[in-house]
A and B are shown apart, each in its own frame.
Chain A
Amino acid sequence: MALLKAGTRLKSAVCNTEVMIVAAPKDEVEVTCGGAPLVAMGEEGGGTIADDAKEGTQIGKRYVNEAGDLEILCTKPGEGSLAAGGTALTIKGAKPLPSSD
């Protein structure tokens, strides 16, 4: 469990996924990728991707929890999938805005 902060970069311990926290809940939460907790950028990972967390991540997609207070941007894709507190995160569907600049 960790208290997340917007702007922090983290990476998967078991695949190539890298993320940035865009919005974080007030309380501690455990975010996993490929079944293993995310680790700090400099930290060593290890282990294998869990069978039930193999959907993969896509660069540029924003992942959210059901409550809507956690939002994570995938900055580098990987084979594991993201979850928070044991529940899979989903891709945030964004209605495209017309380009204004």
Chain B
Amino acid sequence: MNLMMLLEMASSGMGDRVAITNGDDSMTYQELFDAASAAGAKARGAGAEYFAMLDESSLAFPIALFGAAWSGIPFVPLNYRLTGDELDALLTRVEPSLLLCEPEREEALAQREKANPFARHDCLSHTRSEGVDRLDPEWSMDPEEIAILLFTSGTTGAPKAAVLRHQHIVSYILSTVEFMSAEEEAAQLVCVPPYHIAGIASLASSIYSGRRIVQLPAFTAENWIETARREKITNAMVVPTMLARIVEALEGESSADLPHLQAVSYGGGKMPQPVIERAMDLFPDTNFTNAYGLTETSSTIAILGPDDHRSAMASDEPTVRKRITSVGQPIPTIEVEIRDDDGNALPAGERGEIYVRGEQVSGEYLGKGSLLLDDGFFPTKDGGYLDDEGYLFLEGRIDDIIVRGGENMSPGEIEDVLLDHVAIADAAVIGIPDEQWGEAVVASVVLKAGKSASASELQQWVKEHLRSSRTPEQVRFVDELPYNETGKLLRRKVREDFAD
């Protein structure tokens, strides 16, 4: 198994279709296949053991991804926002490398002994030129070879490199996507960065289904709407903060005026309920899908599909209505279990840690080996529970759980209550060290424009809705909460603020 096989099938089955568009430039599946062979030859010629990438999305992203697979070395997309020592430390871990980079960085990176910088424009012109070295159409089919290394930002210590082998990604694609199933006019708008698992999964899924990818490297709501209209986008994937901004930008317009938009999928963080409800109002004919997945599971493992969205919104039954806040049901090739601290499986309705099993699950970090248990299950470190019909509800990272006087509490539960208050736009709840209780509950909140609330009013509000042990001992008012670019709340930063 090799990722290259997916591209080879696309280029032989629909070679003349446009595979990918970025601004004014585009490439067919055949052109992408040919460019990948030149990128692979370049990597091999440079003696690279890693094909790294330090750049935003461009047509060079799939060229590098498949070039790496063709030449038999891991593809390693790095966070292009990193600088200084942090970046140096990562680069050193993936050398000798061929390093696709933004043009502005080329000169500085050329100082490194074991990195061969390959600026974006050079990559785009070299790999698409006549007469350059290319690899023969053969690649390793060893399913155990490493396809991708993705650095995940741990809350402590050095970043870990999640290992995704060819078998994980290929099984994910074969089990979730039907080959060439997309209509010829289908177009997918992608704005997640290449170093995010969703950026890689969307490339692989779109290529296998034959759906044209339209890249939007610098997201703004206005850009997104303009591109969606111009490119007649049919499918889009967004993180919750992006959807919130799109909805905000369209507010005031009577309709979204995106007649081609058939489907929007979202994931990567918690979606505020008012945002998804407003989005469904604005796009009544669009199918919404919520996807839950992790880097270590090669992307999606559970889906709340369009029918689930509609029936939850239309229902008066509280358990059905509540499912709009779930991540849906596991996909058919994934098993999910909720287990307690001792590893015992828990029945529906009981909260614990989410464990998953399936061929797409890698659960492995470079140098640390596999974290899969003997029974093949991977402990995700996400907390949650299943309802009676198998809908999965997330309750934050296990490590974020606050333990106050021996009582476990999920920050999400307290945040939800705060968010229900009329004056609160956003809320983060964390535990801080406390001599008496071990940990104390504290909250950082953002007020809605023009609204006000006092700390004691909010404490009273939580006390009325939850047990008194869950009442924040301190409430801080801030202008905004810290999020990463994919919409994940950075609790570590909130903790730092309270430590000051």
Interface of chain B, helix or strand or loop or mixed? mixed
Write the B156-176 contact mask toward A (1 if CB under 8 angstroms, else 0).
000000000011000000101
- Which B-chain residue is minimally distant from A76 (CB atoms)? B12
Q: Give a binary string over A1-40; 1 marks a CB under 8 Å from any B CB, 0 the rest.
A: 0000011110000000000101000000000000000000
The residue among A20, A60, A98 with the most chain B CB atoms within 10 A of its own CB is A98
B198 x A101 contact (CB < 8 A): yes
Contact: A59 with B13, CB < 8 Å?
A: yes
Q: Which 5 A-B pairs have the closest CB atoms?
A: A60-B179, A100-B291, A7-B143, A7-B1, A101-B201
List CB contacts (< 8 Å) of B278-313 with chain A.
287, 289, 291, 293, 299-300, 303, 305-306
Per the bound structure, the CA–CA distance linking A97 and B360 in Å amounts to: 16
A94 to B179, CA, bound (A): 11
- Report chain A residues within 8 Å CB of B291: 100-101
Instruction: Tell me if A73 is interfacial: C-beta within 8 Å of chain B.
Output: yes
A-chain residues with CB within 8 Å of residue B235 when the two chains form the complex: 99
Is residue B466 contacting chain A, with contact meaning CB distance below 8 A? no
Cα-based distance from A95 to B267 in the complex (angstroms)? 22
For the complex formed, measure the closest distance between the CB of A75 and the CB atoms of chain B, giving whole angstroms: 5
Asked whether, in the complex, the Cβ of A98 is within 8 Å of the Cβ of B303, the reply is yes
**Cα separation A100 to B265 with both chains bound (whole Å):** 5
User: Is the Cβ of B9 less than 8 Å from the Cβ of A94?
Assistant: no
Mask for B18-59, Cβ within 8 A of A = 1, else 0? 000000000000000000000000000000000000000000
Q: For B9, what are the chain A residues with a Cβ–Cβ distance below 8 Å?
A: 59-60, 75-76
Q: Are A99 and B263 in contact, CB atoms less than 8 angstroms apart? A: yes
Task: Decide if B205 touches A99 in the complex (CB within 8 Å).
Answer: yes
Inside 8 A of A76's CB, which chain B residues have their CB? Answer: 9, 12
Q: Which residues of B contact A97 (CB under 8 A)?
A: 176-177, 303, 305, 331-332
Tell me, yes or no, whether A61 is within 8 Å of chain B by CB. yes
A7-B141, A60-B180 are known contacts. Are A100 and B289 too (CB-CB below 8 A)?
yes
Minimum CB–CB distance for A61 against chain B, Å: 7
What sequence of 0s and 1s flags, for each residue 50-65 of chain A, a beta carbon within 8 Å of any chain B beta carbon? 0000000001111000
Given contacts A8-B141, A75-B5, whether A100 and B300 have CB atoms under 8 Å apart is yes
Within 8 A of B (CB), among A67-101: 73, 75-76, 94-101
Residues of chain A within 8 A of B180, CB atoms compared: 59-60
- Any A CB within 8 A of the CB of B237: yes
- Told that A59-B179, A100-B176, A100-B289 touch, could you supply 20 new A-B pairs with CB distance under 8 A? A6-B1, A6-B143, A7-B167, A9-B141, A20-B141, A59-B13, A60-B13, A73-B174, A75-B8, A94-B178, A97-B332, A98-B263, A98-B265, A98-B287, A98-B289, A98-B305, A99-B209, A99-B263, A101-B198, A101-B205
Interface range for B: 35 or more
| B202 interface contact, C-beta 8 A | yes
Q: What separation, in Å, do the CA atoms of A85 and B188 have in the docked complex?
A: 42
User: What residues on A are CB-neighbors of B179 within 8 Å?
Assistant: 59-61
A75–B332 alpha-carbon span in the complex (Å): 23
**B267 near A100: Cβ-Cβ < 8 Å:** yes
Contact of A96 among B141, B167, B181, B201 (CB under 8 A): B181
B residues in contact with A8, CB < 8 Å: 141
Identify the closest chain B residue to A71 (Cβ): B174
Interchain CA distance A61-B9 in the complex, whole Å: 11
Task: Point out the residues of chain B lying under 8 angstroms from A75, CB to CB.
Answer: 5, 8-9
Listed by A's residue number, 30 A-B pairs whose Cβ atoms lie within 8 Å are A6-B1, A6-B143, A7-B166, A20-B1, A22-B174, A59-B179, A60-B178, A60-B180, A73-B174, A76-B12, A96-B178, A96-B181, A97-B176, A97-B303, A97-B305, A98-B289, A98-B306, A99-B188, A99-B205, A99-B211, A99-B235, A99-B265, A100-B237, A100-B267, A100-B293, A100-B299, A101-B198, A101-B237, A101-B265, A101-B293
Set of chain A residues within 8 Å of B237, measured between Cβ atoms: 100-101
The A-contacting residues of B in range 196-223, CB under 8 angstroms, are 198, 201-202, 205, 209, 211
Contacts of A98 in B (CB 8 A): 263, 265, 287, 289, 303, 305-306
B407 contacts A by Cβ under 8 Å? no
Interface centre among A20, A59, A76, A99 (most CB of B within 10 A): A99
Roughly how many angstroms separate A75 CA and B180 CA in the complex, as a whole number?
Answer: 12
Instruction: Tell yes or no: B142 within 8 A of A by CB.
Output: yes
230-245 of chain B: CB within 8 A of chain A:
235, 237
Write out, one digit per residue, whether chain B residues 111-129 have a CB within 8 A of any chain A CB (1) or not (0): 0000000000000000000
Closest chain A residue, CB of each to CB of B166 = A7
CB-CB nearest in chain B for A59: B13
Q: Collect the chain B residues with CB atoms within 8 Å of residue A60's CB.
A: 9, 13, 178-180
Q: Mark B381-417, 1 if CB is under 8 A from A, else 0.
A: 0000000000000000000000000000000000000
Among B176, B202, B237, B265, the one with the most A-chain Cβ atoms within 10 Å of its Cβ is: B176
CA distance A27 to B112 in the complex (A): 52
Chain A residues within an 8 Å CB radius of B176: 97, 100
Q: Which residues of A contact B265 (CB under 8 A)?
A: 98-101
Chain A residue at minimal CB-CB distance from B211: A99
> Would A95 and B332 count as touching, CB distance under 8 A?
yes
Complex: A73 Cα to B181 Cα, angstroms: 15
- Distance, CA A51 to CA B378, complexed state (A): 49
Closest A residue by C-beta to B2? A7
Rounded to whole Å, the gap between the CB of A77 and the closest CB of chain B is 8
Bound: A8/B306 CA distance, A: 37
